[in-house]
Amino acid sequence: MNVPRARSLPRLVAAVLVSAALVAGCTTAASTDDLLGVVIDPPQSKPSFQLTDTNGDVYDFAAETEGKLTLLYFGYLNCPDICPVHLAQIAETFDQAPDVARDAEVVFVSVDPNRDSPDEIRAFLDNFDSRFVGLTGSQEELEAAQNAAGVPVAVFVGDGEDYTVNHAAQVIAYAPDGLNYSVYPFGVRQSQWNNDLALLAQVK
Amino acid sequence: MRKSLLLAALIVAVAACGGGESTGIEVTDVRVGQPTGPNAALYFTASSDVPDLLIGAETDAAIDVEIHETTMGDDGTMGMQPVESLRVGEGEDLVLEPGGFHLMLIDVERLDVGDEIEVTLIWENEGESTVTATVVEPEDAMGHEGDDS
C-alpha cells in the first residue's frame, strides 16, 4: 500500500505545480477584470505631450513614463477639497506597497499656470510624496496635454484673484504596458486604490 | 447699582438659557483636511429638530471663510461654487464632506495633523455656535461610509 502512494507523490507535486502555474498565468490575464475603478473598454493608449517639470526641465510624458505604472491627474493648488484627497490616497497606497511605488510615476499637472509656480507645485506635492512629478506649461501647452489625455480642458470661473477652476476630476491610470484600463473619479476609497494599483502594476 | 447687578445677572441667566436651548443643532465630526495649499476645507455633520440655515462661519485660523459646493459636470469635470447658505433640519442631516459641501478656509494658517482650531458657525435662527475642528490627513477627511478599511 505504501509503495503506490510514494510513487504518486511526484505526480501530485507535478499536478500542484501545474495548477499553480495555471493560476499564476491566469492572474495576469484576469487582473484587469478585477479592477474596482471605472473600466475603460477598450483600453486607450498613453498620450504624448511635453510640459515642464518643477526643476524647469522638459518632461516628455510618454518617454518618461515608459514601462511604469503611471497615474496622471490634472488639478490646481487652490483646490482644497478633492485634489488633496486623490493625491493623499495614492501616497497612502504607496506607503503600504513600496514595491508598487518603486516602478510607478505619479504625474500632477497644474492647469492653473497663473497662480501655481513650479516651487509652489513642488511644495504642494511634497505634502504627499516627494517622488510625485509636478508639471506646468503655457496655457496652450496645458490645453494640448489635456486634449491628448482625452479630458475636458479646465475652465476658469469667476473674476479677480478668487477664480476657481473646473477641471477633470479623475485620475487616469496607465499600466506598465502603456495602456489605460481604468480611471478614478472623485470618491474612490482607499481600499479600491490599494487593490487596483497592485493589479495594474502587474500588467506588463 | 443693585438694580444694574440684578439686570446683569438676569442677562447672564437669559444668555445661559439661550445657550442651553441652542444645543438644538448638534454638530459632529468637525474636521479640516490638512492644508496643502493656501486654502483648506472644513467638514462636519449637523442635525437639528428645527429647520435652520447656516449662513456663514468665522475662525481666527483663516483670513476668510466661505461656504462652497463642489459639483460634478456632465463631462466629469468638478468645480467649486460659493453658496449663500445651507439648510439643516426637517429630518435631514446637513453633511459637509469632500466632493460635496465644505467650508473653505481662505489663506489658512499652517496646520498640522492633530491640531485643533475653533470655528464659529453662524446660523440664521440659532445665532452663533462655536465648534472645535481637528486637523486630519486629507484622505481621512472622507466620510466613513462604505467598505474602507
Using alpha carbons, select from A27, A70, A13, A15 the residue that is nearest to residue A47.
Answer: A70
Q: pTM, whole model, 2 decimals?
A: 0.79
Please tell me if residue B76 touches chain A, with a CB cutoff of 8 Å.
yes
Kindly state the average pLDDT of the residues B48-74: 94
Report pLDDT for B23: 55
CB pairs under 8 A between A and B: 100
Q: What are phi and psi of A103, to 5 degrees?
A: -110, 35
Beta bridge pairs of residue A128: none
Question: What would the mean pLDDT of B56-81 be, rounded to a whole number?
Answer: 92
pLDDT for the residue numbered B124? 96
Q: What is the pLDDT of residue A159?
A: 81
Better-scored residue on pLDDT, A32 or B143: A32
Q: Strands (DSSP E) along chain A, which ranges?
A: 38-45, 50-53, 58-60, 69-75, 104-110, 133-136, 155-157, 164-168, 171-174, 179-184
Binary contact (A84, B33; C-beta < 8 A) = yes
If pLDDT is split at 50, 70 and 90, which confidence band does B19 have?
Answer: very low
DSSP string, A92-144: HHHHH-HHHHHTEEEEEEES-TTT--HHHHHHHHHTT-TT-EEEE--HHHHHH
Distance CA A119, CA A56 (A): 10
- Among A91-105, A152-166, A177-191, B14-28, the least confident range: B14-28
Give me the pLDDT at residue B5, please.
52
Residues of chain B contacting A81 with CB distance shorter than 8 Å? 33, 41, 68, 70, 80, 98-99, 102, 104
pLDDT score for B138: 87
Average pLDDT over residues A155-182: 91
Nearest C-alpha in B relative to A192: B148
A5 pLDDT above the threshold of 80: no
Q: Do A77 and B80 touch (CB under 8 A)?
A: no
Beta carbons of A80 and B37 less than 8 Å apart: yes
Length in residues, chain A: 204
Task: Pick the residue of B139, B144, B145, B149 with the most A CBs within 10 A to test the interface with A by mutation.
Answer: B139
- Among A38, A74, A77, A81, most B C-beta atoms within 10 A, so best to mutate, is A81
Q: Which three cell numbers stand for residue B136?
A: 486630519
Q: What is d(CA B39, CA B107) in angstroms, rounded to the nearest whole number?
A: 5
pLDDT (0 to 100) of residue B139: 84
- Which set of grid coordinates corresponds to residue A123? 511644495
- CB contacts of B76 in chain A (<8 Å) are 151-152, 168-170, 185
Does B41 contact chain A (CB < 8 Å)? Answer: yes
Which of A67-76, A111-120, B86-95 comes out lowest in average pLDDT?
Answer: B86-95
> What pLDDT is stored for residue A15 in this prediction?
52
* Residues with Cβ within 8 Å of residue B88, at least 6 apart in sequence: B25, B46, B47, B48, B51, B52, B53, B54, B94, B123
Please provide the average confidence, as pLDDT, over all residues in chain B.
84
pLDDT over threshold 90, residue A172: yes
Residue among A77, A88, A166 minimizing CB distance to B78: A166
Average pLDDT over residues A39-63: 97
Of residues B88, B120, B127, the one with CA closest to residue B105:
B120
Q: What is the pLDDT confidence band of residue B3, given thresholds at 50, 70 and 90? A: low
Q: Where residue B62 falls among pLDDT bands split at 50, 70, 90?
A: very high
User: How far does B81 lie from chain A, in Å, by closest CA?
Assistant: 8
Q: For the residues B83-104, what does the mean pLDDT come to?
A: 93
DSSP run (H or E) holding A27: helix A2-31
pLDDT (average), residues B71-81: 86
Mean pLDDT within B124-136: 96
Residue A82 predicted with pLDDT over 70: yes
The contact set of A with B (CB < 8 A) is: 77-85, 87-89, 92, 120, 124, 127-128, 151-152, 154-155, 157, 164-170, 185-187, 189-191
- pLDDT more than 70, % of chain A: 85
Of A78, A128, A166, the CB nearest to B38: A78
Are the beta carbons of B139 and A92 separated by less than 8 Å? yes
pLDDT given for residue B90 in this prediction: 81
Please state the rounded mean pLDDT for residues A87-115.
95
pLDDT computed for residue B38 by the predictor: 87
Sort out which chain A residues have CB atoms less than 8 A from B37's CB and list them: 77-80, 120, 124
Residue-wise pLDDT for B110-119, tens only, equals 999 999 999 9
Compute the average pLDDT of residues A39-49: 95
Output the pLDDT for position B1: 47
**Across residues A45-64, what is the average pLDDT?**
97
Residue B40: its chain A contacts at CB < 8 A?
80
